[in-house]
Amino acid sequence: MNQSNNKKLAFFLPNSFTALNIGCGFIAIMYSIQGDFYKACMLIILGAVFDSVDGRVARLTGTQSSFGEQFDSLSDLISFGIAPSLIFYNKFLIDLGRPGMVVAFLYLLCGALRLARFNANIEKVKSDYFQGLPIPGAAAAIIGYILFSSQIPQITENKLITIPYLLFYSFLMISNVPFPSFKQSDWVRKHRRKVFFAIVILASCLFIYEELMIFIIVSLYVLISLIYILTHRNKFKDIFSWDETEENA
């Protein structure tokens, strides 16, 4: 009886973190409707923390399942797709009417396509690179921009900047640009102390200057990744090429 209860608890734990992620996305939308964009953004970041925990808990407890994967994907669509698009719309695009709705919807659509492609290609894509920018990364870019706008509203609230910014990160999600995941990085393994020290410094900066650092970190990650890929094109030429006819035979 105890073993059965322990097994049920083990399956419940990772899914509870996934549910908390959904809750963060939902409440973030409510705060954005009320005009409290700081709390809305912080809840998306908290949701990202829960999202990173649920998979690790599932692996540690040996409770990985198809249900958990689908539940996690749906939670990502809510917290990193629907919520950021609505927060961004309520902050920058609401006065544009229907065109603003279309722009915000394009981000959501690209996020849904990104998740669907990830689920379809999960057995094909190498674990050391993402096929396109992951939707939590795009959400962090959107949230970071909103927080950054509180510091420099004169520039960031310009529609000629906000709309291309949102569309740029929407495109990155459905692109074939390989973004490093660092999961199987040899450099990270060889320099664990330096990496740990860098993480501590970044976490400290995030804690102190969250309005600036989220935007800066995501922007640097994307910029450095794009520069590296452009300067090493041959290395990544066929990274996402698969022989579909051979697999279906």
Q: What is the mean pLDDT of residues 229-237?
A: 81
Question: Which residues is 178 bridged to in the sheet?
Answer: 131
pLDDT (tens digit per residue) in 127-138 = 678 889 999 999
For residue 244, pLDDT over 70 is answered with no
Say yes or no to pLDDT of 191 above 90.
no
The continuous run of DSSP H or E covering 151 comes out as none
Of the candidates 20, 239, 24, 229, the one whose C-alpha atom is nearest the C-alpha of residue 139 is 24
The pLDDT value given to residue 2: 55
Instruction: Break the chain into its structural domains and give their ranges.
Output: 2-239
**Comparing 42-46, 179-183, 187-191, 227-231, which segment has the lowest mean pLDDT?**
187-191
Spatial neighbors of 175 by CB under 8 A, at least 6 apart, are 132, 133
Tell me what pLDDT residue 206 has. Answer: 79
- The confidence score (pLDDT) of residue 243 equals 53
CATH class entry, domain 2-239: mainly alpha
Q: For Cα atoms 53, 112, 140, give the angle at the middle one, nearest 5 degrees.
A: 50
pLDDT in tens, 13-38: 788 889 999 999 999 999 999 999 99
pLDDT at position 103 is 96
Q: How far is 196 from 186, CA to CA, in rounded Å?
A: 15
- Token digits of residue 64: 């990985």
pLDDT digits (tens, 9 = 90+) for 151-164: 887 777 788 899 99
**What 3-state class would DSSP assign to 124?**
coil
pLDDT for res 64: 76
The pair of three-digit structure tokens given for residue 4, joined into one six-digit string = 């059965």
Cβ(130)–Cβ(181) below 8 Å = yes
